[in-house]
Amino acid sequence: MTRIRLTVLALAMSLAASSAGAADKIKVVTTIPDLADMTRNIGGDLVDVTSIATGVEDIHAVPMKPSFAVQLNKADVVVLMGLEMEHAFLPGLLDAARNPKIMRDAPGYIDASAYIIPLDVPQRIDRALGDQHPMGNPHVNLDPVRGKDLARAIADGLSRNYPEHADQFKTNLDAYLAKLDAAIARWEKEAAPLKGKKLVSYHPDMVYFADRFGLKPVGTIELRAGVDPTPSHVAELEDMMRRDKVEIVVREISYPAGLAESVAQSTGAKLVELPVMTGGAPDATDYISFIDHNVRTMLGAVQGGT
């Protein structure tokens, strides 16, 4: 009797230890915090998630640290935005990590853009010209409706790798989508004053946000994605902005402030500083608060006068 009791106790203790231990969780590495937050919502207690970027970086130039390769070496799955957004760092890190589970085309390589139809797909791809958006615009995370498609692709990717947990992932996904839907209904109401406003941004990363909330992106300070502006480009841009009465200049936080400020000043437009990822502002701690931050910041600029 005592021996059985002891055996049961030992078994219970080992079960408790293993279910509580991070060692048994599905180890997920995501490229950006937006995808990390979605994966935590979908994976719940089953996942242990880390993100490579913190949200303040230029996503096309995230520095490759050896610690990222170590994390990827131990990962069960990697979740990325795709559309070549992580081209600057992810292929190199995956080579260094030597983890067959998460190499491109392996089941553990979860492309969150799988259900996205990208905007701005170029007619001709020429990396030699420095184009950072060869597959179309990858900044999908700025639109919360397309964000739902990112979440669905993550849930499907997790279920493909762990079919035994598919029901749990589906339940968690549905709860998260319901939360997101409620927030989207609120944002669409709040953002009504943004409709029809023209904007220029430093980098072409506002197209999905603009598409959702009815703004019109009419130009960029960069010559094109990843190509620095020339003085003649800036002069032409400013002429166009004065002529077309462009009201907003967006300076994404990883881009230089000086030029965006002078473009705004010389054209009478309002300068708006925005994060382009979750974690890019102190109050943008998860995906919903990130979209909240951007909608409210943009509204503040439009309604603030000047």
Closer residue to Zn ion in complex, CB, 81/155: 81
Of residues 261, 260, 259, 292, the one with CA closest to residue 275: 292
**What minimum distance in Å lies between the beta carbon of 9 and Zn ion?**
57
Q: For residue 269, what is the DSSP state?
A: P
To which residue do tokens 């400020």 refer?
Answer: 261
Closer residue to Zn ion in complex, CB, 30/132: 132
The residue ranges that bind Zn ion (CB under 5 A) are: 132
Measured CA to CA, the distance from residue 273 to residue 56 in angstroms comes to 12
Residue 92, CA distances (Å) to 61, 87, 105, 257 in order: 12, 9, 15, 30
Closer residue to Zn ion in complex, CB, 75/80: 80
**What minimum distance in Å lies between the beta carbon of 131 and Zn ion?**
10
**What minimum distance in Å lies between the beta carbon of 132 and Zn ion?**
5
Q: At what angle do helices 90-97 and 66-74 cross, to 10 degrees?
A: 60
**What minimum distance in Å lies between the beta carbon of 85 and Zn ion?**
7
Measured CA to CA, the distance from residue 215 to residue 198 in angstroms comes to 6
Closer residue to Zn ion in complex, CB, 87/152: 87
Closer residue to Zn ion in complex, CB, 264/276: 276
**What minimum distance in Å lies between the beta carbon of 82 and Zn ion?**
13
Q: For residue 42, what is the DSSP state?
A: H
Measured CA to CA, the distance from residue 262 to residue 157 in angstroms comes to 45
